[in-house]
Chains A and B, each alone.
Chain A
């Protein structure tokens, strides 16, 4: 039983690191411009297809695709912010939601049309290789995904706390009018935030391709998990997303073996979620971005 619990905790942490990176993208976008991005999971899906097609058609290693994905998806986020989100920034929330839901529908259906509804997987020789620590199996590709995700999250954290641009982003998040008054180009900051958020989630998608399947609707469960993670950690908080992701990963994983049925694992997640909302409505590390 103890090995079983250890295995559950380890695999929970491994997938939790990826959840953290996905949630980080969402919380950045929300923190800076207070937009709820329902298309978040679909950028994960695009990241997956990006790595998949590069690997299948050009033989590019998915970890090189991970590097390539960053500027590409940053640019995509930038353009989407400039062309689609900006016009509705001052509109009521329901209009903003319609825009992001619309983007989600377009992306999913475009993927259905272009990539077909078939399930795809990358078949890598090392995709299912593992090593064992005290009876606990650790998958290399999952470990890499977790480590890269966590390092990226720390990188984003440092960027926000140490650089001028990062500080400007935080200023926008905390006091938009104040930021404008001191001469920060708020529109530009928004584009950076959306670009960064999109790049984070797409990177998570690329990192998952060695061990996960790819399909046009693959993003949906991850969007849901990202929302829970973000609220759990505190809306707009970067360390919150990190801690929240790891907690959700472990709770889901332990829920699989400790509850009567793995079907109830989401119940565990949402129970923890409700509990935190009751005790600490602002989320675990809510209130501040860094």
Chain B
């Protein structure tokens, strides 16, 4: 027994010594390169497992592409060409896990955190980041409450507010109507009856009233229902100038088909979700044409470099860049800009630099001029674009400054298509 034990001990001792030697050697290697520039850790807080993981993983791609490009272009120059490295925190789509991961990222020494896709996770994790004084950039989560009435110093929200989706839909209807001489005097608002539909519809009613557009009816319908013919015929009988919808993909498809069946010749204006899903076009084919939707971004927007970024994205990941990925990409560029200005990885200095952010014109690929944060940390110029399906593809049609194509308005009758 003793001989075996001593043998193990001896072997372990040798192994240990070897390990130590190797570690020392690596440490020496790293410390020499560190003299040039330390890697800068960036916390990426996203749902990477669980039911919303596919969306989280796609959001991460925007960060990944941006960081790869920043590093390839020589890193952060004011910090001696320091490279950015991603440190992942997996929220699993769960606020409690998100809070733990935020604390963990802070302990791991990240210079800032970007995330967390879901508003329900972003809201509590920004609170923790505020307490720990870690700069937090929110690229995608849209809830108004993330920046409203909290006076946070460390939260910077690149994404537009949820209520702005409604604002921009109605602004679009007003302006396209006036421009083409086919004004929108009345609308019917129709939404699926979960929280997403209800809150969006409330915002749409508010902005319609503000712009003097009459809301003829507000219709809630159950999601995934087998038939909506009666409801759509009610919409038809109300004779609105447009139908504003909040739908997931299954209902978006069903309602469009039913509108065609009943010959309801009014424009559909969707609220992202089901109407911006590529499956909307794949399922409906030519019937999808002329539908509108509000959207965060589209590759054809007139911003220099937007299409090239989309091409690089598609080449790297095999799928086109969507609005979320464009937002996470731009948010990473916002952080780069702040690091360059701060010339430091000190979180206080980075926070101050973020507050001074001003990324304008073609440097911002999102559909508005400048990314600039107000005192609450909200990107104050944030705006949505309007896309229309034309010849089986989403094209940007509003706002005009960044849209390559004109909206087809009024939409042709179903039997004339």
Q: Tell which of A118, A139, A262 touches B219, judged by Cβ atoms closer than 8 Å.
A: A262
Q: Tell which of B231, B260, B261 touches A262, judged by Cβ atoms closer than 8 Å.
A: B231
Is B226 a contact partner of A211 (Cβ separation < 8 A)? no
Extra contacts besides A15-B226, A118-B279, A262-B225 (15): CB < 8 Å = A1-B237, A4-B233, A4-B237, A7-B229, A7-B233, A11-B227, A119-B279, A127-B257, A130-B263, A137-B263, A221-B225, A249-B227, A253-B227, A261-B193, A261-B221
Indicate whether B222 reaches chain A with its CB closer than 8 angstroms. Answer: yes
Which residues of chain B have C-beta atoms less than 8 A from A212's C-beta? 226, 254
Listed stretches B20-28, B133-141, B283-291, B350-358; interface member? B283-291
Is A256 a contact partner of B226 (Cβ separation < 8 A)? no
Indicate whether B228 reaches chain A with its CB closer than 8 angstroms. Answer: yes
Is A123 a contact partner of B284 (Cβ separation < 8 A)? yes
Per-residue 0/1 for A135-152: is the Cβ within 8 Å of any B Cβ (1 yes, 0 no)? 001010000000000000
Is B230 a contact partner of A257 (Cβ separation < 8 A)? yes
Q: How far is the CA of A271 from the CA of B258 in the complex (A)?
A: 27
Number of A-B contacts (CB under 8 A): 99
Interface residues of B in 207-253 (CB under 8 A from A): 219-222, 224-231, 233-234, 237, 249-250, 253
Indicate whether A173 reaches chain B with its CB closer than 8 angstroms. Answer: no
Which residues of chain B have C-beta atoms less than 8 A from A128's C-beta? 257, 260-261, 287
Which residues of chain A have C-beta atoms less than 8 A from B249's C-beta? 119
Which residues of chain B have C-beta atoms less than 8 A from A12's C-beta? 227, 230
Q: Tell which of B221, B225, B234, B261 touches A4, judged by Cβ atoms closer than 8 Å.
A: B234
Per-residue 0/1 for A1-37: is the Cβ within 8 Å of any B Cβ (1 yes, 0 no)? 1011001100110010000000000000000000000
A interface SS class: helix
**Least Cβ distance of A282 to chain B in Å?**
27
Which residues of chain B have C-beta atoms less than 8 A from A257's C-beta? 230-231, 233-234
Which residues of chain A have C-beta atoms less than 8 A from B14's C-beta? none
**Least Cβ distance of A78 to chain B in Å?**
28
Is B230 a contact partner of A7 (Cβ separation < 8 A)? yes
Indicate whether A175 reaches chain B with its CB closer than 8 angstroms. Answer: no
B-contacting residues of A (Cβ < 8 Å)?
A: 1, 3-4, 7-8, 11-12, 15, 118-121, 123, 127-128, 130, 137, 139, 211-213, 215, 220-222, 225, 249, 252-254, 256-257, 261-263, 265-266
**Least Cβ distance of A226 to chain B in Å?**
11
Which residues of chain B have C-beta atoms less than 8 A from A1's C-beta? 237
Q: Tell which of A8, A118, A215, A266 touches B222, judged by Cβ atoms closer than 8 Å.
A: A266
Q: Tell which of B225, B229, B261, B284 touches A121, judged by Cβ atoms closer than 8 Å.
A: B284
**Least Cβ distance of B134 to chain A in Å?**
36
**Least Cβ distance of B198 to chain A in Å?**
10
**Least Cβ distance of B115 to chain A in Å?**
24
**Least Cβ distance of A48 to chain B in Å?**
12
Q: Tell which of B227, B228, B250 touches A215, judged by Cβ atoms closer than 8 Å.
A: B250
Query: Could you list 29 examples of A-B contacts with CB < 8 Å?
Result: A4-B230, A7-B262, A8-B229, A8-B230, A8-B233, A11-B227, A11-B230, A11-B233, A119-B283, A121-B253, A121-B284, A123-B284, A123-B285, A128-B257, A128-B261, A128-B287, A130-B261, A130-B262, A213-B250, A213-B254, A256-B221, A256-B234, A257-B233, A261-B193, A261-B219, A262-B219, A262-B228, A262-B230, A263-B220
Residue of A nearest to B218 (CB): A261
Which residues of chain A have C-beta atoms less than 8 A from B261's C-beta? 128, 130, 137, 139
Q: How far is the CA of A8 from the CA of B231 in the complex (A)?
A: 8
Q: How far is the CA of A215 from the CA of B220 in the complex (A)?
A: 23
> Among A222, A263, A266, which residue has the most Cβ atoms of chain B within 10 A?
A263
Which residues of chain A have C-beta atoms less than 8 A from B222's C-beta? 262-263, 265-266
**Least Cβ distance of B233 to chain A in Å?**
4
Is B226 a contact partner of A222 (Cβ separation < 8 A)? yes
**Least Cβ distance of B72 to chain A in Å?**
34
> Among A7, A119, A253, which residue has the most Cβ atoms of chain B within 10 A?
A119
Which residues of chain B have C-beta atoms less than 8 A from A123's C-beta? 283-285
Closest 9 pairs (CB-CB, A-B): A11-B229, A256-B230, A8-B230, A121-B283, A262-B221, A128-B260, A263-B193, A123-B285, A263-B220
